[in-house]
Structure 1
Amino acid sequence: MFTGLIELTGNINTIQSNNNGLDISIKVDASFLETVNIGDSISVNGICSTVISKNNTIFFVNYLEETLKKTTISDIKLNHQVNLEKSISIQTPIGGHFVTGHVDTVAKLINVEKDDPWRIISIELNKEFRHLVVEKGSITLDGISLTVVNIEQDYFTCHLIPHTIEKTTFLNRRKGDLLNIEFDILGKYLYRFYKLENQRSLNDG
Protein backbone atom coordinates (compact mmCIF):
# COMPACT_ATOMS: atom_id res chain seq x y z
CA MET A 1 0.00 0.00 0.00
CA PHE A 2 1.18 3.52 -0.84
CA THR A 3 0.01 7.13 -0.47
CA GLY A 4 0.82 8.61 -3.87
CA LEU A 5 3.37 11.04 -2.42
CA ILE A 6 6.52 10.56 -4.50
CA GLU A 7 9.74 10.36 -2.49
CA LEU A 8 12.12 10.82 -5.40
CA THR A 9 12.70 9.84 -9.01
CA GLY A 10 15.10 7.21 -10.29
CA ASN A 11 16.45 6.27 -13.70
CA ILE A 12 16.16 3.00 -15.59
CA ASN A 13 19.62 1.43 -15.48
CA THR A 14 19.17 -1.90 -17.30
CA ILE A 15 16.37 -3.70 -19.14
CA GLN A 16 16.52 -7.40 -19.91
CA SER A 17 13.83 -9.59 -21.44
CA ASN A 18 13.12 -13.02 -20.01
CA ASN A 19 10.69 -15.78 -20.91
CA ASN A 20 7.91 -14.32 -18.77
CA GLY A 21 8.50 -10.56 -18.95
CA LEU A 22 11.16 -8.00 -18.10
CA ASP A 23 13.95 -7.69 -15.54
CA ILE A 24 14.69 -4.04 -14.79
CA SER A 25 17.17 -2.24 -12.57
CA ILE A 26 16.67 1.31 -11.33
CA LYS A 27 19.38 3.69 -10.15
CA VAL A 28 18.57 5.95 -7.20
CA ASP A 29 20.17 8.06 -4.52
CA ALA A 30 21.80 5.76 -1.96
CA SER A 31 19.77 7.21 0.92
CA PHE A 32 16.54 5.86 -0.61
CA LEU A 33 17.73 2.26 -0.31
CA GLU A 34 19.07 2.46 3.24
CA THR A 35 15.77 1.19 4.69
CA VAL A 36 14.79 -1.06 1.77
CA ASN A 37 15.06 -4.84 2.15
CA ILE A 38 14.79 -7.67 -0.35
CA GLY A 39 11.10 -8.48 -0.77
CA ASP A 40 9.91 -4.96 0.00
CA SER A 41 7.40 -3.24 -2.28
CA ILE A 42 8.20 -0.02 -4.14
CA SER A 43 5.82 1.90 -6.36
CA VAL A 44 7.50 2.45 -9.74
CA ASN A 45 5.40 4.88 -11.79
CA GLY A 46 2.41 3.61 -9.83
CA ILE A 47 3.19 -0.10 -10.28
CA CYS A 48 3.63 -2.14 -7.10
CA SER A 49 7.07 -3.72 -7.62
CA THR A 50 8.93 -6.24 -5.46
CA VAL A 51 12.63 -5.66 -4.80
CA ILE A 52 14.42 -8.90 -5.75
CA SER A 53 17.98 -7.62 -5.36
CA LYS A 54 19.85 -4.41 -4.58
CA ASN A 55 23.19 -2.76 -3.95
CA ASN A 56 24.00 0.71 -2.62
CA THR A 57 22.44 2.69 -5.46
CA ILE A 58 20.56 0.21 -7.66
CA PHE A 59 17.58 -2.06 -7.04
CA PHE A 60 16.18 -4.80 -9.26
CA VAL A 61 12.56 -5.70 -10.04
CA ASN A 62 10.82 -7.93 -12.56
CA TYR A 63 7.49 -7.70 -14.33
CA LEU A 64 5.37 -10.49 -15.75
CA GLU A 65 3.39 -10.44 -18.99
CA GLU A 66 0.16 -9.28 -17.33
CA THR A 67 1.87 -6.15 -15.99
CA LEU A 68 3.43 -5.46 -19.39
CA LYS A 69 -0.03 -5.61 -20.99
CA LYS A 70 -1.77 -3.37 -18.46
CA THR A 71 0.85 -0.65 -17.82
CA THR A 72 3.39 1.58 -19.53
CA ILE A 73 6.34 -0.46 -18.25
CA SER A 74 6.55 -2.34 -21.57
CA ASP A 75 7.50 0.94 -23.28
CA ILE A 76 10.18 1.93 -20.77
CA LYS A 77 13.62 2.84 -22.13
CA LEU A 78 17.11 3.10 -20.68
CA ASN A 79 17.66 6.27 -18.62
CA HIS A 80 13.91 6.95 -18.46
CA GLN A 81 12.94 8.71 -15.26
CA VAL A 82 10.42 6.98 -12.96
CA ASN A 83 8.49 8.04 -9.86
CA LEU A 84 9.32 6.08 -6.70
CA GLU A 85 7.62 5.58 -3.35
CA LYS A 86 8.29 2.98 -0.66
CA SER A 87 5.31 1.13 0.80
CA ILE A 88 3.75 2.63 3.90
CA SER A 89 4.02 1.38 7.46
CA ILE A 90 1.89 2.05 10.54
CA GLN A 91 4.08 5.08 11.24
CA THR A 92 3.71 6.59 7.74
CA PRO A 93 1.61 9.78 7.57
CA ILE A 94 -1.20 9.39 5.01
CA GLY A 95 -0.73 12.65 3.15
CA GLY A 96 -2.20 11.56 -0.18
CA HIS A 97 -4.76 8.75 -0.43
CA PHE A 98 -4.69 4.95 -0.32
CA VAL A 99 -2.92 3.64 -3.42
CA THR A 100 -2.59 -0.11 -4.05
CA GLY A 101 -0.10 -0.02 -6.92
CA HIS A 102 -2.47 -2.08 -9.09
CA VAL A 103 -2.85 -0.07 -12.29
CA ASP A 104 -6.36 -0.03 -13.76
CA THR A 105 -5.61 1.32 -17.21
CA VAL A 106 -3.29 3.43 -19.35
CA ALA A 107 -4.43 6.78 -20.72
CA LYS A 108 -2.98 9.53 -22.88
CA LEU A 109 -1.93 12.96 -21.67
CA ILE A 110 -3.82 15.05 -24.21
CA ASN A 111 -2.88 18.56 -23.11
CA VAL A 112 -0.50 20.45 -20.82
CA GLU A 113 -1.46 24.07 -20.20
CA LYS A 114 0.89 26.47 -18.46
CA ASP A 115 -0.69 28.68 -15.82
CA ASP A 116 2.54 29.72 -14.10
CA PRO A 117 3.63 28.51 -11.71
CA TRP A 118 0.98 25.80 -12.08
CA ARG A 119 0.23 23.33 -14.86
CA ILE A 120 -3.22 22.16 -15.91
CA ILE A 121 -3.14 18.70 -17.44
CA SER A 122 -5.89 16.95 -19.39
CA ILE A 123 -6.04 13.15 -19.50
CA GLU A 124 -8.25 11.11 -21.80
CA LEU A 125 -11.13 9.32 -20.09
CA ASN A 126 -12.51 6.10 -21.54
CA LYS A 127 -16.26 5.83 -20.96
CA GLU A 128 -15.63 2.41 -19.42
CA PHE A 129 -14.09 4.15 -16.40
CA ARG A 130 -16.07 7.38 -16.29
CA HIS A 131 -18.10 6.24 -13.26
CA LEU A 132 -14.88 5.90 -11.23
CA VAL A 133 -13.79 9.52 -11.66
CA VAL A 134 -15.30 12.13 -9.33
CA GLU A 135 -14.73 15.88 -9.31
CA LYS A 136 -12.59 16.83 -6.30
CA GLY A 137 -11.92 13.12 -5.79
CA SER A 138 -8.53 11.40 -5.76
CA ILE A 139 -6.80 9.68 -8.65
CA THR A 140 -3.30 8.27 -9.16
CA LEU A 141 -1.29 9.17 -12.27
CA ASP A 142 2.07 7.40 -12.62
CA GLY A 143 2.02 6.84 -8.87
CA ILE A 144 1.22 10.47 -8.00
CA SER A 145 -1.83 11.24 -5.85
CA LEU A 146 -3.76 14.06 -7.54
CA THR A 147 -7.16 15.70 -7.27
CA VAL A 148 -9.58 15.64 -10.19
CA VAL A 149 -10.59 19.24 -10.94
CA ASN A 150 -13.01 18.93 -13.86
CA ILE A 151 -14.61 16.08 -15.79
CA GLU A 152 -15.59 16.53 -19.42
CA GLN A 153 -17.15 14.09 -21.88
CA ASP A 154 -13.94 12.28 -22.81
CA TYR A 155 -11.26 13.70 -20.52
CA PHE A 156 -10.60 15.03 -17.04
CA THR A 157 -8.22 17.65 -15.68
CA CYS A 158 -5.84 17.92 -12.75
CA HIS A 159 -3.71 20.83 -11.52
CA LEU A 160 -0.02 20.41 -10.75
CA ILE A 161 1.62 22.59 -8.12
CA PRO A 162 5.29 23.62 -8.62
CA HIS A 163 6.53 21.04 -6.09
CA THR A 164 4.87 18.17 -7.99
CA ILE A 165 6.24 19.41 -11.30
CA GLU A 166 9.80 19.71 -9.98
CA LYS A 167 9.95 16.51 -7.91
CA THR A 168 8.28 14.02 -10.27
CA THR A 169 8.42 12.89 -13.88
CA PHE A 170 5.87 15.57 -14.80
CA LEU A 171 8.80 17.95 -15.19
CA ASN A 172 9.45 16.23 -18.54
CA ARG A 173 5.99 14.99 -19.49
CA ARG A 174 4.66 16.05 -22.88
CA LYS A 175 1.38 15.92 -24.78
CA GLY A 176 0.83 12.40 -26.13
CA ASP A 177 2.66 10.60 -23.30
CA LEU A 178 0.94 7.57 -21.77
CA LEU A 179 0.25 7.44 -18.03
CA ASN A 180 -0.56 4.64 -15.61
CA ILE A 181 -3.90 5.29 -13.92
CA GLU A 182 -5.24 3.83 -10.70
CA PHE A 183 -8.71 4.90 -9.63
CA ASP A 184 -9.54 5.45 -5.97
CA ILE A 185 -9.86 2.06 -4.27
CA LEU A 186 -12.62 3.32 -1.95
CA GLY A 187 -14.63 4.48 -4.95
CA LYS A 188 -14.21 1.10 -6.63
CA TYR A 189 -15.48 -0.75 -3.56
CA LEU A 190 -18.44 1.60 -3.19
CA TYR A 191 -19.38 1.16 -6.84
CA ARG A 192 -19.19 -2.62 -6.52
CA PHE A 193 -21.35 -2.51 -3.38
CA TYR A 194 -23.89 -0.33 -5.20
CA LYS A 195 -24.04 -2.74 -8.15
CA LEU A 196 -24.51 -5.77 -5.89
CA GLU A 197 -27.22 -4.05 -3.85
CA ASN A 198 -28.98 -2.88 -7.00
CA GLN A 199 -28.89 -6.39 -8.46
CA ARG A 200 -30.21 -7.82 -5.19
CA SER A 201 -33.11 -5.36 -5.23
CA LEU A 202 -33.98 -6.35 -8.79
CA ASN A 203 -33.87 -10.03 -7.89
CA ASP A 204 -36.02 -9.50 -4.81
CA GLY A 205 -38.51 -7.46 -6.81
Structure 2
Amino acid sequence: MFTGIIEDIGKIEKLVMDRGNLHITIKSNITKELKIDQSVSHNGVCLTVIDTEQNLYTVTAIKETLDKTNLGFLDKNNSVNLERAMKLGDRLDGHIVQGHVDQTAKCISVKEENGSWFFTFEYDSNLNNITIEKGSITINGVSLTVVDSQQSRFSVAIIPYTYNHTTFKNLDIGDIVNLEFDVIGKYVKRLNDLRN
Protein backbone atom coordinates (compact mmCIF):
# COMPACT_ATOMS: atom_id res chain seq x y z
CA MET A 1 0.00 0.00 0.00
CA PHE A 2 1.30 3.45 -0.97
CA THR A 3 0.17 7.07 -0.69
CA GLY A 4 1.32 8.56 -4.00
CA ILE A 5 3.77 10.94 -2.30
CA ILE A 6 7.09 10.50 -4.11
CA GLU A 7 10.17 10.04 -1.90
CA ASP A 8 12.93 10.06 -4.50
CA ILE A 9 13.65 10.07 -8.20
CA GLY A 10 15.69 7.02 -9.15
CA LYS A 11 18.02 6.72 -12.14
CA ILE A 12 18.00 3.59 -14.29
CA GLU A 13 21.52 2.14 -14.24
CA LYS A 14 21.00 -1.22 -15.94
CA LEU A 15 18.26 -3.14 -17.78
CA VAL A 16 18.61 -6.89 -18.33
CA MET A 17 16.05 -9.02 -20.18
CA ASP A 18 15.79 -12.60 -18.87
CA ARG A 19 13.29 -14.47 -21.03
CA GLY A 20 10.03 -12.56 -20.38
CA ASN A 21 11.30 -10.69 -17.32
CA LEU A 22 13.09 -7.35 -17.11
CA HIS A 23 15.58 -6.87 -14.27
CA ILE A 24 15.85 -3.15 -13.52
CA THR A 25 18.79 -1.78 -11.53
CA ILE A 26 18.22 1.66 -10.04
CA LYS A 27 20.45 4.21 -8.33
CA SER A 28 18.61 5.93 -5.50
CA ASN A 29 19.12 7.87 -2.29
CA ILE A 30 16.77 5.45 -0.50
CA THR A 31 18.71 2.28 -1.42
CA LYS A 32 20.56 2.11 1.93
CA GLU A 33 17.15 1.85 3.68
CA LEU A 34 15.87 -0.96 1.44
CA LYS A 35 16.02 -4.67 2.08
CA ILE A 36 15.47 -7.68 -0.12
CA ASP A 37 11.78 -8.66 -0.49
CA GLN A 38 10.58 -5.10 0.21
CA SER A 39 7.92 -3.47 -2.00
CA VAL A 40 8.73 -0.20 -3.76
CA SER A 41 6.57 1.78 -6.16
CA HIS A 42 8.31 2.57 -9.48
CA ASN A 43 6.27 5.05 -11.55
CA GLY A 44 3.29 3.65 -9.64
CA VAL A 45 4.16 -0.03 -10.18
CA CYS A 46 4.72 -2.11 -7.05
CA LEU A 47 7.88 -4.20 -7.53
CA THR A 48 9.87 -6.35 -5.12
CA VAL A 49 13.52 -5.60 -4.29
CA ILE A 50 15.61 -8.67 -5.22
CA ASP A 51 19.12 -7.28 -4.63
CA THR A 52 20.88 -4.29 -3.07
CA GLU A 53 24.49 -3.15 -3.39
CA GLN A 54 25.76 0.21 -2.11
CA ASN A 55 23.46 2.82 -3.70
CA LEU A 56 21.99 0.41 -6.30
CA TYR A 57 19.08 -2.00 -6.02
CA THR A 58 17.37 -4.34 -8.46
CA VAL A 59 13.73 -5.24 -9.07
CA THR A 60 12.08 -7.50 -11.64
CA ALA A 61 9.12 -6.70 -13.87
CA ILE A 62 7.35 -9.70 -15.43
CA LYS A 63 5.87 -9.72 -18.94
CA GLU A 64 2.36 -8.94 -17.61
CA THR A 65 3.71 -5.79 -15.95
CA LEU A 66 5.68 -4.78 -19.04
CA ASP A 67 2.58 -5.25 -21.23
CA LYS A 68 0.33 -3.09 -19.02
CA THR A 69 2.69 -0.29 -17.90
CA ASN A 70 5.29 2.10 -19.25
CA LEU A 71 8.19 0.18 -17.64
CA GLY A 72 8.93 -1.59 -20.92
CA PHE A 73 9.81 1.78 -22.46
CA LEU A 74 12.57 2.49 -19.93
CA ASP A 75 16.10 3.17 -21.12
CA LYS A 76 19.36 3.49 -19.22
CA ASN A 77 19.63 6.90 -17.46
CA ASN A 78 15.83 7.40 -17.45
CA SER A 79 14.28 8.66 -14.22
CA VAL A 80 11.52 6.93 -12.24
CA ASN A 81 9.36 8.12 -9.34
CA LEU A 82 9.99 6.05 -6.19
CA GLU A 83 7.98 5.50 -3.03
CA ARG A 84 8.44 2.90 -0.32
CA ALA A 85 5.38 1.14 1.08
CA MET A 86 3.37 3.01 3.70
CA LYS A 87 3.96 2.25 7.39
CA LEU A 88 0.96 1.56 9.59
CA GLY A 89 0.30 4.61 11.74
CA ASP A 90 1.80 7.10 9.25
CA ARG A 91 -0.23 9.96 7.83
CA LEU A 92 -1.96 9.28 4.53
CA ASP A 93 -0.86 12.47 2.77
CA GLY A 94 -1.95 11.44 -0.72
CA HIS A 95 -4.63 8.79 -1.17
CA ILE A 96 -4.82 4.99 -1.02
CA VAL A 97 -2.58 3.68 -3.82
CA GLN A 98 -2.16 -0.05 -4.37
CA GLY A 99 0.72 0.02 -6.84
CA HIS A 100 -1.40 -1.91 -9.35
CA VAL A 101 -1.49 0.04 -12.61
CA ASP A 102 -4.86 -0.12 -14.37
CA GLN A 103 -3.72 1.13 -17.76
CA THR A 104 -1.52 3.64 -19.52
CA ALA A 105 -2.36 7.05 -20.98
CA LYS A 106 -0.72 9.48 -23.38
CA CYS A 107 0.18 13.03 -22.45
CA ILE A 108 -1.57 15.24 -25.01
CA SER A 109 -1.01 18.71 -23.58
CA VAL A 110 1.35 20.56 -21.22
CA LYS A 111 0.60 24.19 -20.35
CA GLU A 112 2.44 26.42 -17.93
CA GLU A 113 0.09 28.88 -16.22
CA ASN A 114 1.34 31.41 -13.65
CA GLY A 115 3.94 29.15 -12.08
CA SER A 116 1.93 25.90 -12.20
CA TRP A 117 1.50 23.35 -14.97
CA PHE A 118 -1.60 21.72 -16.43
CA PHE A 119 -1.06 18.29 -17.96
CA THR A 120 -3.80 16.62 -20.00
CA PHE A 121 -3.89 12.87 -20.59
CA GLU A 122 -5.92 10.68 -22.94
CA TYR A 123 -6.71 7.05 -22.13
CA ASP A 124 -8.72 4.17 -23.60
CA SER A 125 -12.17 4.45 -21.99
CA ASN A 126 -13.12 1.01 -23.38
CA LEU A 127 -11.28 -0.48 -20.37
CA ASN A 128 -14.11 0.91 -18.18
CA ASN A 129 -11.98 3.10 -15.91
CA ILE A 130 -13.34 6.51 -15.01
CA THR A 131 -12.26 9.75 -13.45
CA ILE A 132 -14.42 12.27 -11.63
CA GLU A 133 -13.95 15.98 -11.12
CA LYS A 134 -11.87 16.59 -7.96
CA GLY A 135 -11.35 12.82 -7.57
CA SER A 136 -8.00 11.14 -7.03
CA ILE A 137 -5.77 9.67 -9.75
CA THR A 138 -2.26 8.25 -9.61
CA ILE A 139 0.01 9.16 -12.53
CA ASN A 140 3.42 7.45 -12.58
CA GLY A 141 2.98 6.90 -8.86
CA VAL A 142 2.06 10.51 -8.01
CA SER A 143 -1.20 11.14 -6.12
CA LEU A 144 -3.06 13.96 -7.89
CA THR A 145 -6.48 15.59 -8.12
CA VAL A 146 -8.45 15.36 -11.38
CA VAL A 147 -9.57 18.55 -13.10
CA ASP A 148 -11.59 18.69 -16.31
CA SER A 149 -12.77 15.06 -16.21
CA GLN A 150 -14.11 13.85 -19.57
CA GLN A 151 -15.01 10.49 -21.15
CA SER A 152 -11.48 9.48 -22.17
CA ARG A 153 -9.31 12.34 -20.93
CA PHE A 154 -8.60 14.45 -17.90
CA SER A 155 -6.19 17.07 -16.68
CA VAL A 156 -4.21 17.60 -13.49
CA ALA A 157 -2.65 20.76 -12.08
CA ILE A 158 0.94 20.42 -10.90
CA ILE A 159 2.38 22.80 -8.30
CA PRO A 160 6.06 23.80 -8.53
CA TYR A 161 7.13 21.49 -5.68
CA THR A 162 5.59 18.41 -7.34
CA TYR A 163 6.94 19.46 -10.74
CA ASN A 164 10.49 19.79 -9.39
CA HIS A 165 10.47 16.68 -7.15
CA THR A 166 8.96 14.13 -9.56
CA THR A 167 9.49 13.09 -13.16
CA PHE A 168 6.78 15.52 -14.29
CA LYS A 169 9.59 17.95 -15.12
CA ASN A 170 10.72 15.47 -17.83
CA LEU A 171 7.25 14.68 -19.20
CA ASP A 172 6.52 15.74 -22.80
CA ILE A 173 3.56 15.55 -25.14
CA GLY A 174 3.34 12.01 -26.52
CA ASP A 175 4.91 10.37 -23.47
CA ILE A 176 3.16 7.31 -22.01
CA VAL A 177 2.31 7.30 -18.28
CA ASN A 178 0.94 4.73 -15.84
CA LEU A 179 -2.52 5.31 -14.39
CA GLU A 180 -4.00 3.85 -11.24
CA PHE A 181 -7.59 4.95 -10.81
CA ASP A 182 -8.98 5.58 -7.33
CA VAL A 183 -9.60 2.22 -5.62
CA ILE A 184 -12.78 3.41 -3.90
CA GLY A 185 -14.13 4.70 -7.21
CA LYS A 186 -13.36 1.34 -8.85
CA TYR A 187 -15.34 -0.56 -6.21
CA VAL A 188 -18.28 1.85 -6.45
CA LYS A 189 -18.30 1.52 -10.25
CA ARG A 190 -18.11 -2.28 -10.04
CA LEU A 191 -21.01 -2.46 -7.57
CA ASN A 192 -23.04 -0.13 -9.76
CA ASP A 193 -22.30 -2.25 -12.85
CA LEU A 194 -23.41 -5.40 -11.00
CA ARG A 195 -26.74 -3.79 -10.09
CA ASN A 196 -27.47 -2.83 -13.70
Scaled by the length of structure 1, the TM-score of the pair is: 0.92
Q: Identity over the aligned pairs, expressed in percent?
A: 39
Partner in structure 1 of residue 61 of structure 2: 63
The whole-number CA distance in structure 2 between the counterparts of 1:156 and 1:33 is 34
Larger CA Rg, structure 1 vs 2 = 1
Q: Residue type matched to 2:83 in 1? A: E
**C-alpha root-mean-square deviation of aligned residues, in Å?**
1.3
Partner in structure 1 of residue 10 of structure 2: 10
The whole-number CA distance in structure 2 between the counterparts of 1:59 and 1:135 is 38
Scaled by the length of structure 2, the TM-score of the pair is: 0.96
Query: In structure 1, the residue corresponding to 2:46 is in which secondary structure?
Result: strand
1:40-59 CA deviation, whole Å, 9 max, x = no partner?
A: 10000000010001022111
1:22-71 CA deviation, whole Å, 9 max, x = no partner?
A: 11100012xx1333211010000000010001022111001111001000
Partner in structure 1 of residue 181 of structure 2: 183
Q: For residues 98-117 of structure 1, what are the structure 2 equivalents within 5 Å?
A: 98-117=96-115
Q: For residues 120-159 of structure 1, what are the structure 2 equivalents within 5 Å?
A: 120-129=118-127, 132-159=130-157
Partner in structure 2 of residue 203 of structure 1: none
| Higher mean displacement: 122-131 or 93-102 | 122-131
Q: Residue type matched to 2:96 in 1? A: F
1:146-165 CA deviation, whole Å, 9 max, x = no partner?
A: 00011234421110000010
Runs of 4+ in 1 over 3 A off after TM superposition: none
Structure 1 position 93, deviation (Å): 1.2
Tell me, yes or no, if structure 1 residue 23 matches structure 2 residue 23: yes
Give structure 1 stretches of 5+ with no counterpart: 200-205
Q: In 2 relative to 1, CA 57–65 (structure 1 residues): closer, same or farther, beyond 3 Å?
A: same
Q: In 2 relative to 1, CA 131–57 (structure 1 residues): closer, same or farther, beyond 3 Å?
A: closer
Q: For residues 34-113 of structure 1, what are the structure 2 equivalents within 5 Å?
A: 34-113=32-111
Give structure 2 stretches of 5+ with no counterpart: none
